[in-house]
Structure 1
Amino acid sequence: MERPATRRYHHSPNTMRYRTTYAKTKSMRYTGHLDVQRTWERTLRRARLPLAYTQGFNPRPKLTLAAALPLGFTSDCEMVEFYLDGDPPSDEVETRLREAAPPGIAVQLVETVASKAPKIPNLVKSTRYRVTLLEPASDLAARVDRLLENETLPRERRGKPYNLRPLIEDLRVSESGTLEMQLTARPGATGRPEEVLLALGFDPLAARIHRSALLLEDT
């Protein structure tokens, strides 16, 4: 029996790569990573943009999110990259996406990216968070100071021990009383704000966590 011929999908010779920075607000706080990716696929189609697809029997949109945002978190610095067949101006793409985006997704910026640049998940080196405790703690600054005095902070993740301390790049209390933290975000070495809260003696469920920045490697 002959094998069926492999299907191939041809793209425009001037396929362009774009990066969009967007906010994920309260109405999408409990939308998971895969559902956010599907939301972006629908948004790009709704915007009538010529989304480029992978080749093969099961073509998928050429679309990548920078970093998964845990359930319950909000953010104003999320990033998604995608390819379009052709090279529509980034300001036109931005306008269309703003009009097509659903509630909970607020498009802030669209820019073009060099096609040979590293993929966006490989560029994220650190993340910043702003944490608001639902019940303010008068000793918050003292707890932060005591935590930072430790050389090691033994924790366990998925049954494996690890040291949280070197993953905390910065931790401080702002003038408004929020907890500001910058954590390492590299493969195999990713700090999580909820684990910092636990190390400080707080219940992560009694806090609102907002990602305020994705810090990227220079390219």
Structure 2
Amino acid sequence: MRLRVTFSKGGVLAYTSHLDLVRVWERTLRRARLPLAYSGGFNPRPKLQLAAALPLGHTGGAELLDIWLDESLPVENFARALAPVLPDGLLVSQVRQVILKEPSLPAQIVAAEYHVTVEWSEPAEVVQVRIEQVMAAPELAHERRGRQYDLRPLIERLWLERAGEGEVVLGMQLAARAGATARAEAVLEVLGMGEAFAHYHRQRLLLRAVALGDG
């Protein structure tokens, strides 16, 4: 049985690394005494898979985790067993069953939506001009870890949520495919806001449609 858990990550876990978050989930699932499926080999581990790593310091509103069980049980029973052992910083909003032969969860991710709160004093109309200039640019040359790339096609949508009282909230839909992933920090840099203090919240992950024959 394969279950997909939608959860939020924040609070004390905002600075937990991807690998440490996997360990947090392993401990939590064991405490819930659920019939977990395990990998083979000399060091068997619970079979689970996070959709996409969340950078340190970022919070997430609808992160995704796939969990494999050795036996079937009602989704409601799974959620009920999990609720009392969840650590501070994790909150489950949905559990649903998915077909076993679906492609891996990371392979299904195509984009991510962010809400970024920036300490910024410019009025909304000035910020809007910055956004329009970025979206109208034919190319946005950028560098990461010594590699040059064009950021522009990776910014699928960019909009202003609100501005005022010394802060700006931006919405971003960014590509998140293998070999074509944009960072929200890079978008702030091309907007000319890269030096400002910002809080990054990944609102949701967007998955490609999966046909029953995939995988």
Given the two structures, how large is their TM-score scaled by the length of structure 2? 0.91
Say which SS state the counterpart of residue 173 (structure 1) adopts.
strand
1:38 is aligned to 23
* Contact 1:29–1:73 (Cα < 8 Å) also in 2: yes
Q: What is the rounded CA distance, in whole Å, between the counterparts of 2:21 and 2:196 in structure 1?
A: 22
Q: What is the rounded CA distance, in whole Å, between the counterparts of 1:96 and 1:195 in structure 2?
A: 40
Instruction: State how many pairs are aligned.
Output: 204
Match of 2:188 among 192, 197, 201: 197
Structure 2: unaligned runs, 5 residues or longer: 211-215
* Bigger Rg, structure 1 or 2: 1
Structure 1 residues 96 and 207: alpha-carbon distance in aligned structure 2, compared to 1, 3 A threshold? same
Q: Does 1:51 align with 2:42?
A: no
Q: Identity over the aligned pairs, expressed in percent? A: 46
2:213 is aligned to none
Q: Which moved more, 1:135-144 or 1:70-79?
A: 135-144
**Cα offsets for 1:52-71 (capped at 9, x unmatched):** 10112221211100000001
Match of 1:210 among 201, 205, 212: 201
Match of 1:169 among 148, 156, 166: 156
2:114 is aligned to 129
Match of 2:130 among 139, 143, 158: 143
Provide the aligned C-alpha RMSD in A.
Answer: 1.3
Which portions of structure 1, spanning 4 or more consecutive aligned residues, are displaced by more than 3 angstroms?
none
Structure 1: unaligned runs, 5 residues or longer: 1-15
1:180 is aligned to 171
Structure 1 residues 93 and 199: alpha-carbon distance in aligned structure 2, compared to 1, 3 A threshold? same
Give the superposition deviation at 1:204. Answer: 6.1
* Contact 1:126–1:214 (Cα < 8 Å) also in 2: yes
